């Protein structure tokens, strides 16, 4: 690799002045020959300022790069014995493969970076420029792959979960010690990121191999059921084999038992009703372009960049994924409760945020929100003077509330976590709504099918709340509150692609069009995403 030229060394000397000589750097040979080894920083503030003036397209990263060198006492980061170190080479490789990380960026001065690693370069890049170009590329890589969009942009996308912060210098220290952390670092990235990363590779290979072929049908389409025979059946079989829901493609036109199993597996991954019917809607879903599936994976990898990895390492927590209409209660890494939920409509969206569950209220009153009173209740009271009584409602200090009981809109238990959105988890008397595929029925709160099981599981370490006491408290006769001695974190997120614990990729509906909005921010030039669905 290239060595410092005399002119480069002279320039650095003139900029930083005489070097400090360290006694520890004398050897017997040094002493006898009066040769000194200089501890010369490769950069200083003046050199940094000159670099960013020369490479103006990198100026936006100047503060972060300067901070790196202040942390390193202005010593070289990328050189060892006048050679680029292992981390430098690995960083260059990762930059060349950055598309594999689900990002699309144009690297400034890419040709100069390539010259640095070219054995026969057309242009010799100085060691100082090499050093600072690599540091700039490190910041670009860390921002793009580890950090993602800035906090303000994320908030503008109505994502109010705590956003991870990256300490670039500390991260760099860990990479210097172990450069292979550039390949996988669970201390920096949420584990789901790497799972989606593997699926992205698979789907790009499918796209490259042109095996995602359109499925054609007869017109008018006739719903397919077991043991039907059709050329469409063979096409569905081929698709399910390509994406892994079938282990092989027999090419049969008969909707046989093998295909039935594959259809169930596919429907489970998409959150669809588990039956053997193949409707026109299912064909339309199968015919969504693979480019949309790839982009969906990339968008959800971006969301993973915002999540602190420590979130999934907590002792216990509740997690709700809005697009999958599912709740999970996790304790010590075990998924103790998995429950269907229904969420807010597109007009009354369930908010993406986090909180701390601090109490469970059994047989609760429901205090009707002012918005519901103004928009719905007043009209019903005007039309029927007995409406309040018939629905177990009453006035209380100027507010309308529903008394405890099995028909109470909150059901027989609610889980409270103070928040400005007035959102909480609760039971529901409308049990049939949990069987729908697309469960968007509430005014924003999260209705939980297994609310009682959740309460029992959360309180199993509370000796003064045995199951019998919980059953009595849920009788619907009297409101009873249990204050939690240890608050339980709850995270309400939005992922339309998710790899489950069995390693299967699941895709869910973009119920609030948040994928479309995020795509327009990340990839403003992409006008094709989901256009097939709009035809």
- Positions annotated as catalytic residues are 426, 445
Distance CA 192, CA 531 (A): 27
Paired strand residues for 337: 329
Contact 305, 404 (CB under 8 A): no
Contact 295, 519 (CB under 8 A): yes
- Cis, bond preceding 220 (omega within 30 deg of 0): yes
Distance CA 77, CA 87 (A): 9
Q: Which of 528, 468, 492 is nearest to 415 (CA)?
A: 492
Residue corresponding to tokens 């409308």: 430
Looking only at the bridges linking them, the beta strands covering 326-331 and 316-321 are antiparallel
Question: What backbone phi and psi angles, to 5 degrees, belong to 361?
Answer: -110, 120
Distance CA 284, CA 89 (A): 46
Distance CA 235, CA 242 (A): 11
Q: H-type helices in 424-530, by residue range?
A: 451-458, 467-473, 514-522
Distance CA 297, CA 200 (A): 6
Q: Which of 442, 449, 444, 400 is nearest to 428 (CA)?
A: 449
Q: Centre a 10 Å sphere on the Cβ of residue 393 and count the other Cβ atoms it contains.
A: 20
Close Cβ partners of 271 (under 8 Å, ≥ 6 residues apart): 324, 325, 437, 506, 508, 509
Q: How many Cα atoms within 13 Å fall on the side-chain side of residue 460?
A: 10
Q: What DSSP designation does 478 have?
A: S
Contact 172, 137 (CB under 8 A): no
Close Cβ partners of 209 (under 8 Å, ≥ 6 residues apart): none
Paired strand residues for 327: 320, 339
Burial of residue 174 (number of CB atoms within 10 Å: 0-12, 13-18, 19+) = middle
């Amino acid at each position: 690799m290239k060595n410092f030229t005399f002119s480069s060394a002279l320039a650095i000397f003139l900029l930083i002045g005489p070097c400090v000589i360290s006694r520890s750097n004398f050897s017997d040979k040094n002493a006898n020959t009066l040769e000194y080894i200089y501890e010369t920083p490769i950069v200083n503030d003046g050199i940094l300022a000159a670099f960013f003036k020369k490479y103006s397209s990198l100026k936006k990263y100047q503060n972060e790069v300067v901070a790196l060198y202040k942390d390193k006492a202005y010593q070289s980061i990328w050189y060892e014995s006048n050679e680029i170190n292992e981390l430098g080479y690995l960083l260059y490789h990762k930059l060349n493969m950055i598309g594999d990380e689900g990002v699309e960026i144009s690297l400034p001065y890419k040709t100069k970076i390539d010259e640095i690693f070219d054995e026969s370069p057309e242009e010799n890049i100085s060691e100082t420029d090499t050093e600072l170009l690599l540091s700039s590329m490190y910041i670009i890589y860390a921002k793009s792959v580890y950090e993602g969009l800035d906090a303000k942009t994320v908030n503008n996308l109505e994502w109010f979960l705590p956003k991870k912060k990256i300490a670039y210098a500390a991260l760099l220290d860990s990479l210097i010690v172990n450069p292979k952390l550039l390949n996988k670092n669970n201390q920096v990235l949420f584990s789901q990121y790497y799972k989606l990363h593997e699926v992205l590779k698979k789907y790009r290979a499918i796209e490259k191999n042109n095996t995602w072929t359109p499925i054609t049908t007869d017109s008018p389409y006739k719903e397919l059921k077991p043991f039907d025979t059709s050329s469409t059946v063979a096409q569905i079989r081929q698709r399910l084999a390509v994406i892994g829901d079938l282990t092989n493609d027999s090419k049969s036109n008969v909707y046989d038992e093998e295909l039935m199993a594959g259809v169930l597996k596919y429907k489970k991954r998409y959150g669809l009703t588990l039956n053997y019917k193949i409707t026109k809607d299912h064909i339309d879903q199968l015919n969504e372009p693979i480019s949309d599936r790839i982009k969906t994976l990339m968008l959800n990898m971006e969301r993973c960049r915002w999540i602190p990895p420590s979130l999934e390492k907590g002792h216990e927590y509740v997690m709700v994924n809005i697009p999958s209409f599912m709740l999970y209660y996790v304790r010590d890494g075990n998924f103790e409760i998995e429950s269907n939920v229904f969420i807010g409509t597109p007009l009354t969206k369930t908010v993406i945020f986090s909180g701390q569950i601090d109490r469970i209220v059994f047989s609760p009153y429901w205090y009707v929100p002012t918005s519901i009173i103004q928009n719905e209740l007043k009209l019903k009271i005007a039309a029927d003077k007995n409406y309040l009584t018939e629905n177990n409602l009453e006035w209380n200090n100027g507010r309308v509330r529903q008394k405890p009981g099995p028909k109470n809109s909150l059901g027989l238990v609610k889980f409270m976590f103070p928040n400005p959105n007035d959102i909480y988890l609760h039971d529901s008397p409308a049990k049939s709504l949990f069987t729908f595929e697309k469960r968007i029925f509430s005014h924003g709160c999260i209705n939980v099918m297994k609310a009682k099981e959740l309460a029992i599981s959360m309180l199993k370490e509370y000796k003064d709340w045995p199951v019998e006491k919980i059953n009595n408290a849920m009788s619907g006769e009297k409101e009873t509150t249990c204050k939690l001695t240890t608050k339980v974190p709850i995270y309400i997120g939005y992922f339309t692609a998710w790899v489950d614990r069995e390693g299967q990729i699941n895709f869910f509906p973009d119920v609030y069009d948040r994928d479309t909005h995020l795509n327009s921010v990340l990839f403003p030039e992409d006008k094709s995403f989901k256009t097939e669905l709009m035809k």
